[in-house]
Amino acid sequence: MSRILAFCSEKNNIDAQNTTDPCGNLIMRNAQRVTIVGIMGVEILFLIAILIMSVVIHEVSHGFAANWLGDPTARLEGRLTLNPVPHIDPMGSVILPAILALSSSPFLFGWAKPVPYNPYNFQRGGRWAEALVAAAGPAANIAVALAVGLLVRVGVIPLEATNLAVSIIFLNVLLAVFNLIPIPPLDGSKVFSQLLPQPLAVGYERFREIFERNLFLSFGAVIIFVLLFGSWFALFIAHITRIIIGA
């Protein structure tokens, strides 16, 4: 780029806006490329940062719910913090989101290290305890989306930051809804098992245990879902986002 500018500066009366000037065209084309790449790079970094904080809020909410129900495991292991460092999973929090963003995937997705909990320590909640812990993560993401959406609606957020706010809403709704899909080991599988009649719940629990013990099965099922329904799912999340912001 600097060589192009140096060469063109030797010409007299160069007008970079003149479409008949090949040197001006060259400057404009390269400047546009550099600008687009720079903007994309910044946007990707912002999206990954938003995703990381969203999954951290999601996981911390699981831990707070478990702690409230009587299990201190997450608290004792220092996981009840919004500091992303203890929660970051290199593959799920950084590498996968970066690949999805750079490949123009229909939606961005990732995960943090699961917050540990021991259901045998629960002192309240009864048979719903594990489902409550599972639902706490998506509920927190929905709360974040609604809070930011309210700020957008009342005009508190500056116009320049609107795109950032919409990204926060979209990614949090995405995390909430996607995690509620009843595919083990997603949160929805733990909630769904409690909603089923007892005979069906027993069979589903066996199915869930098999999937949770075999990561290839569970992640394979999630990948198949994304490949088959990813674009439709992204459109559905975009529709919810528009409702939240009142667009």
Active site (annotated) includes residue 59: yes
Residue linked to tokens 């320049």? 160
Both structure tokens of 70: 């009587």
What pLDDT is recorded for position 28? Answer: 38
Please state the φ and ψ torsions of residue 80, each to the nearest 5 degrees. -90, 60
Q: Which residue has the higher pLDDT, 38 or 89?
A: 89
Given the residues 59, 160, 209, 212, the one annotated as active site:
59
- Indicate the range of 43-57, 105-119, 162-176 predicted with least confidence: 105-119
The mean of the pLDDT values for the chain is 81
* Model confidence pLDDT, tens digit, residues 57-102: 999 999 999 999 999 999 999 999 999 999 988 888 888 888 877 7
- Indicate the range of 95-99, 191-195, 207-211, 230-234 predicted with least confidence: 95-99
130 touches 193 (CB < 8 A): no
Residue 161 in this model has a pLDDT that exceeds 60: yes
- Contacts of residue 130, defined as CB under 8 A and 6 or more positions apart, other chains included, come to 119, 122, 190, 194
Average pLDDT over residues 194-219: 86
pLDDT category at 160 given cuts 50, 70, 90 is confident
What pLDDT is recorded for position 44? Answer: 76
Q: Which segments of 69-124 does DSSP mark as H helices, in order?
A: 73-76, 96-102
Residues 11-18: contacts with CB within 8 Å, 24+ apart? none
What pLDDT is recorded for position 41? Answer: 55
| DSSP secondary structure letters along 145-212 | HHHHHHHHHHT-S-GGGHHHHHHHHHHHHHHHHHHTSSSTTSHHHHHHHHHS-HHHHHHHHHHHHHHH
Both structure tokens of 93: 């929090």
Average pLDDT over residues 201-226: 86
Burial of 21 (0-12, 13-18, 19+ CB in 10 A): middle
What pLDDT is recorded for position 103? Answer: 79
The residues spanned by each domain of the chain are: 2-6+19-245
| DSSP secondary structure letters along 45-79 | HHHHHHHHHHHHHHHHHHHHHHHHTT--HHHHTT-
Nearest to 141 by CA among 243, 221, 53: 53
What pLDDT is recorded for position 107? Answer: 64
Q: How far is CA 199 from CA 53, 131, 176, 196, in A?
A: 39, 18, 28, 8
Residue linked to tokens 């909630």? 191
What pLDDT is recorded for position 20? Answer: 44
pLDDT category at 106 given cuts 50, 70, 90 is low
- Indicate the range of 20-34, 37-51, 78-92, 198-212 predicted with least confidence: 20-34
* Model confidence pLDDT, tens digit, residues 120-136: 999 998 989 999 999 99
- Indicate the range of 110-124, 132-146, 185-199, 220-234 predicted with least confidence: 220-234
Per cent of the chain over pLDDT 70 is 82
What pLDDT is recorded for position 31? Answer: 37
